[in-house]
Structure 1
Amino acid sequence: MPLILISGYPSSGKTQRATQLVSYFSAKIQSSSDPHLSRLTVSHINDQSLAIRRDVYREARTEKEAREAQYSAIKRALGRDTIVVADGLNYIKGFRYQLYCEAKAVKTPSWLSEIMEQAGLMFPEVHIGTPIETCRTINTRLLGDDQQDGGYEQDVFDNLVYRYEEPNGMTRWDSPLFTVPFVDETPPYEAIWEAMIGSEAKAKVVKPNTATVLQPATESDYLYELDKITQEVLSMILVWQKDHPGEGGQVLTIEEGNNVELPATPVSLPQLQRIRRQFISLNRQHKLPKPRIRTSFVEYLIDSLG
């Protein structure tokens, strides 16, 4: 079933919005006479439900452990009769991509209208659009309130804001994207429900994208091909930049139908290698068909450089 990602700055009101959505979905399900909808449940996963403390975000090691706990909990919750609301910072786009892959890999019946299914609008993301200064004020108040879960220490708060990678509705894993302004009393309930379930409660099997299905490693040379093809793409970019100094912002054709629009300033080798390592890490287990490796990597490059 659908995965709904909640994303936003620290102390932006994510849990408040997630709770509103959970209450709305639960009421919608309970009042439905459709047997397919009435059997659904809603799972709300956040730091509080996983007993993750705010101070884990101070150190890279504990933060990584917290993300792994979140990832495992969401993966376990995904299933045929569950709507999962992943309420958290979700500030790293690579992490959001991983969750998108997990949701796509779950072969479950869904109730999407034909239009929604063809558009692939299955996993809504809700971006909490609270201004940074408002978040800072709320966080300061939470720090001094013993009755609340507490805020983030100021240096941790500033660091999380600095590292936040805002969702982009043009990427597959950040769409459909719903931004909820701070001044809005409620999220757009119906629009999110429509994107998630569709207007017709008609059961049909969602066919996972071949690029996101977890497959057994039947080809021994898969990792070799993954490494080789991604390195070839990087080499093409580096050679082009060397041969065209001062010509940033141009479109480089990797192969027919695969174009990369390069930034105005040259992309450094360390930056390209970092993107490549992230892509390989994300697809080491989510095995791509060989013909899809180059195309998927180019798409990932475009999103990362954009």
Structure 2
Amino acid sequence: MPVCDQRISNLELILISGYPSSGKTYRSQQLLEFFERKISESEDPKVKRLKTQHIDDQSLGLSRDVYATARAEKDARATLSSTIKRVLGRDTIVVADGMNYIKGFRYQLYCEAKAVQTPSCVVHVGTPAQKSRALNDEALKSSTGGYEPEIFENLVFRYEEPNGMTRWDSPLFTVPYEDAQPPYDAIWEAMVGSDGKAKVVRPNAATVLKPASEQNYLYELDRTTSEVISAITVWQQDHPGEGGGEINITGAEEKIVLPSTAPSLPQLQRLRRQFTALNRQHTLSKSRIQTLFVDYLNDAFQS
């Protein structure tokens, strides 16, 4: 993906996240109606030229059954991601109304947005699991569908709630089930701004996606991330039983800040696999791999 120029671009990505049957599409429609009304009533030409785009499983021809198997779900996420990248353009507000329940996937979309200087936010539909379960049961009994119980419970179990302390989930707007409407004005201000200009998002080497051209890139990605994990485990061996702590990684811009509860080696390896999967198509120098991976770990440790 080429690097965009430095002009301000009025395009925004809004990720909707929540439990299955929590009302994500309902909240999406509320936001779309508000945006369209706001655009039509505005006299500002910068706002007038805005348009909206709603993307959900139904519009992509994806059934709820895709979440029954890992392979089908992976393909569904790829379809959603490619569609979002395709429709992101100037003067477009994209509402991505999907499951978006995996933080690694939200991170991936955050990177895609930042690479083209697109402001993004996450709207968390905060319907409790019990209420979502009841709504899903009602949907199964009606013609509107719903998720099969096994799929529903699996998705709830694996749901990774957005955390506003991480960059890819920020700014974060949570909409409780009891609230009649989302915080329209706050979301509009964060995405479009009071003057019709969204904040300028500048890409950096860590989020600009380019085809992997270095023959040894994947090897370097694997080796460099392994070195970071090794540095953490060595530090933990030298400081047994200690929580917290900071670790310097040669070449990285920031230190690793460990949480109060020391992460286990399986947890660290899982984070490493997630990171390498998300960055297989990047072309980054070793120092940028280190910096981005340290950044990724610090965000994960905070969540």
TM-score by length of 2: 0.89
State the partner residue of 1:140.
Answer: 137
**Residues 254 and 260, structure 1, Cα contact 8 Å, conserved in 2:** no
| 2:301 counterpart (277, 285, 305) | 305
State the partner residue of 2:205.
Answer: 210
Amino acid aligned to 1:299: D
Q: Deviations over 1:35-59 (max 9, x none)?
A: 2221111000011111211111111
* CA distance in structure 1 between the aligned counterparts of 2:272 and 2:192, rounded to whole angstroms: 35
SS in 2 for 1:44: strand
Alpha-carbon deviation of 1:24? Answer: 0.7
State the partner residue of 2:24.
Answer: 14
Q: Does 1:90 align with 2:85?
A: no
State the partner residue of 1:281.
Answer: 277
* CA distance in structure 2 between the aligned counterparts of 1:93 and 1:288, rounded to whole angstroms: 22
Alpha-carbon deviation of 1:205? Answer: 6.0
Alpha-carbon deviation of 1:285? Answer: 1.9
Q: 1:25 to 1:219 in 2, by over 3 A?
A: same
* CA distance in structure 1 between the aligned counterparts of 2:153 and 2:233, rounded to whole angstroms: 34
State the partner residue of 1:254.
Answer: 249
Unaligned runs of 5+ in 1: 109-121
* CA distance in structure 1 between the aligned counterparts of 2:71 and 2:193, rounded to whole angstroms: 40
Q: Does 1:171 align with 2:166?
A: yes
Alpha-carbon deviation of 1:262? Answer: 4.0
Alpha-carbon deviation of 1:34? Answer: 1.9
Q: 1:90 to 1:203 in 2, by over 3 A?
A: closer
| 2:239 counterpart (237, 241, 244) | 244
**Residues 193 and 199, structure 2, Cα contact 8 Å, conserved in 1:** no
Amino acid aligned to 2:173: F
Q: 1:160 to 1:191 in 2, by over 3 A?
A: same
Q: Does 1:154 align with 2:149?
A: yes
State the partner residue of 1:264.
Answer: 261
* CA distance in structure 2 between the aligned counterparts of 1:90 and 1:72, rounded to whole angstroms: 14
State the partner residue of 2:179.
Answer: 184
* CA distance in structure 1 between the aligned counterparts of 2:82 and 2:52, rounded to whole angstroms: 17
* CA distance in structure 2 between the aligned counterparts of 1:191 and 1:205, rounded to whole angstroms: 18
Amino acid aligned to 1:272: L
Amino acid aligned to 2:135: I
* CA distance in structure 1 between the aligned counterparts of 2:180 and 2:62, rounded to whole angstroms: 28
**Residues 253 and 260, structure 1, Cα contact 8 Å, conserved in 2:** no
* CA distance in structure 1 between the aligned counterparts of 2:291 and 2:72, rounded to whole angstroms: 34
SS in 2 for 1:208: coil
Identity rate, percent: 63
State the partner residue of 1:116.
Answer: none
TM-score by length of 1: 0.88
Q: Does 1:126 align with 2:123?
A: yes
Alpha-carbon deviation of 1:196? Answer: 0.2
Amino acid aligned to 2:46: H
**Residues 124 and 175, structure 1, Cα contact 8 Å, conserved in 2:** yes
* CA distance in structure 1 between the aligned counterparts of 2:142 and 2:290, rounded to whole angstroms: 51
* CA distance in structure 1 between the aligned counterparts of 2:198 and 2:149, rounded to whole angstroms: 48
Q: Considering only aligned residues, what root-mean-square deviation do their CA atoms show, in Å?
A: 2.0
Amino acid aligned to 1:260: V
Alpha-carbon deviation of 1:203? Answer: 8.0
Moved more, 158-167 or 245-254: 245-254
Aligned length: 290
**Residues 15 and 96, structure 2, Cα contact 8 Å, conserved in 1:** yes
**Residues 6 and 126, structure 1, Cα contact 8 Å, conserved in 2:** yes
State the partner residue of 2:8.
Answer: none
Q: Deviations over 1:200-246 (max 9, x none)?
A: 12488643233211235455544343233211111111112222222
**Residues 22 and 132, structure 2, Cα contact 8 Å, conserved in 1:** yes
